[in-house]
């Protein structure tokens, strides 16, 4: 039986695993974090067909249940790189190395960092990149959210229901989120908009105690006392580990069309990691199915 490795268990990777296993392939799905990927970081999903409204964790769990029923081998590890000898790929991870006849890269995207002093020092100790995952640690406390897009405003709205006061810090005058997210903020009286300000540093001795911000208009700085800082400044590609094998776009996404083929036969790309227009759950799932089908054709010598 041919072996296939799928990197990442978001909706793209999980769908690819289900389709590949159903095609009779020996499937190993490698995930470094939570099964579900970005879905686990959102409270509510309202545009996945079949579910008028579903929590991110629940859709993740439902997809994961389908994966476990398919007889896929689940591996918790972080992929560091890929190498190749003849037609066999070696997927090198932090703990082990695994071999496969084909590889589907479905590693999604990573969060953009603030790159200010204090961020690294307080990461996981007050600085968070996931409001839904960590919001409860800040019950009845004051927190800041940095960002102005849909994710930032969704995070701010979620945290308003959990925390005492939420400062929403954004570098522009106006948020770039969709109107419905902007309007939703009006219903919270514990939200304070801090527009036209950028974060300068995250402050604190042993514990995080504030975020220093600077006005983009006057250059004046002040510190907002908070116990937590939620970073929601966008998502970026994470494909350096694969650049030897796959062609990347200028902004680091894997060059691949809807057929999920890459510049190396035997390596496929699915979901948010590839250069595409619409990064959503439904398009990630579609990619997962296409990538598995193309991988099967490749392994059968017809692709």
Judged by the rule CB under 6 A, the positions of this chain that interact with ligand FAD are: 7-13, 30-33, 37-39, 41-42, 45, 47-48, 78-79, 106-109, 151, 154, 271-273, 279-282, 284
**Distance in Å, CB of 274 to ligand FAD, minimum:** 8
Q: Are strands 197-204 and 208-215 parallel, antiparallel or unpaired?
A: antiparallel
Considering beta carbons, is residue 63 or 296 the nearer one to ligand FAD? 63
**Distance in Å, CB of 231 to ligand FAD, minimum:** 12
Element containing residue 60 per DSSP (H, E): helix 56-69
In the chain, DSSP assigns E strands to: 3-7, 26-31, 73-76, 79-85, 88-93, 97-100, 102-105, 110-111, 127-128, 142-146, 165-170, 191-195, 197-204, 208-215, 221-225, 228-231, 235-236, 267-269
Q: Are strands 3-7 and 26-31 parallel, antiparallel or unpaired?
A: parallel
Query: What is residue 298's DSSP assignment?
Result: H
**Active-site residue among 77, 101, 134, 142?**
134
| CA distance linking residue 228 with residue 191, whole number of Å | 15
**Distance in Å, CB of 296 to ligand FAD, minimum:** 19
Considering beta carbons, is residue 124 or 219 the nearer one to ligand FAD? 124
**Sign of the alpha-carbon dihedral angle for 67, 112, 139, 169:** negative
Considering beta carbons, is residue 10 or 126 the nearer one to ligand FAD? 10
Is residue 259 part of the annotated active site? The answer reads no
Is residue 93 part of the annotated active site? The answer reads no
DSSP per-residue letters across 72-105: PEEEE--EEEEEEETTEEEEEESS-EEEESEEEE
**Distance in Å, CB of 218 to ligand FAD, minimum:** 32
**Active-site residue among 130, 163, 260, 285?**
130
Is residue 133 part of the annotated active site? The answer reads yes
Considering beta carbons, is residue 224 or 284 the nearer one to ligand FAD? 284
Contact of 74 with 235, CB cutoff 8 Å: no
Considering beta carbons, is residue 10 or 135 the nearer one to ligand FAD? 10
Helix and strand numbers (H, E) in the chain are 7, 18
Backbone angles phi, psi at 268, to 5 degrees: -120, 155
**Distance in Å, CB of 278 to ligand FAD, minimum:** 8
Contact of 29 with 67, CB cutoff 8 Å: yes
**Distance in Å, CB of 290 to ligand FAD, minimum:** 13
| CA distance linking residue 147 with residue 157, whole number of Å | 13
Considering beta carbons, is residue 208 or 281 the nearer one to ligand FAD? 281
List, by residue number, the catalytic residues. 130, 133-134
């Amino acid at each position: 039986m041919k072996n296939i490795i799928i990197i990442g268990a978001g909706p793209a990777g999980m769908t690819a695993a289900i389709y590949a296993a159903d095609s009779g392939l020996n499937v190993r799905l490698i995930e470094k974090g939570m099964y579900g990927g970005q879905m686990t970081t959102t409270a509510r999903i309202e545009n996945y067909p079949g579910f008028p409204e579903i929590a991110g964790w629940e859709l993740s769990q439902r997809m994961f249940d389908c994966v476990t029923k398919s007889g896929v081998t689940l591996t918790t590890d972080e992929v560091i790189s890929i190498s190749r000898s003849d037609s066999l790929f070696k997927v090198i991870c932090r703990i082990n190395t695994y071999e496969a006849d084909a590889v589907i890269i479905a590693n999604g995207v990573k969060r953009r960092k603030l790159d200010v002093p204090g961020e690294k020092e307080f990461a996981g100790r007050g600085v968070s990149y996931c409001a839904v995952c960590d919001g409860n640690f800040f019950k009845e406390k004051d927190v800041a959210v940095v960002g102005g897009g849909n994710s930032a405003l969704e995070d701010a709205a979620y945290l308003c229901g959990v925390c005492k006061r939420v400062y929403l810090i954004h570098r522009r005058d106006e948020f770039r989120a969709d109107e419905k997210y902007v309007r939703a903020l009006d219903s919270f009286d514990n939200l304070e908009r801090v527009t036209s300000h950028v974060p300068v540093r995250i402050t604190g001795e042993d514990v995080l105690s504030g975020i220093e911000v600077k006005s983009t208009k006057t250059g004046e700085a002040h510190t907002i006392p908070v116990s937590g800082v939620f970073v929601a400044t966008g998502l970026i590609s994470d494909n350096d580990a694969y650049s030897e094998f796959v062609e990347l776009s200028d902004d680091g996404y894997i060059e691949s069309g809807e057929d999920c083929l890459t510049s190396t036969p035997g390596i496929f790309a699915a979901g948010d990691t590839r250069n595409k227009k619409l990064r959503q759950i439904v398009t990630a799932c579609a990619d997962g199915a296409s990538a598995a089908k193309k991988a099967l054709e490749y392994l059968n010598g017809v692709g």
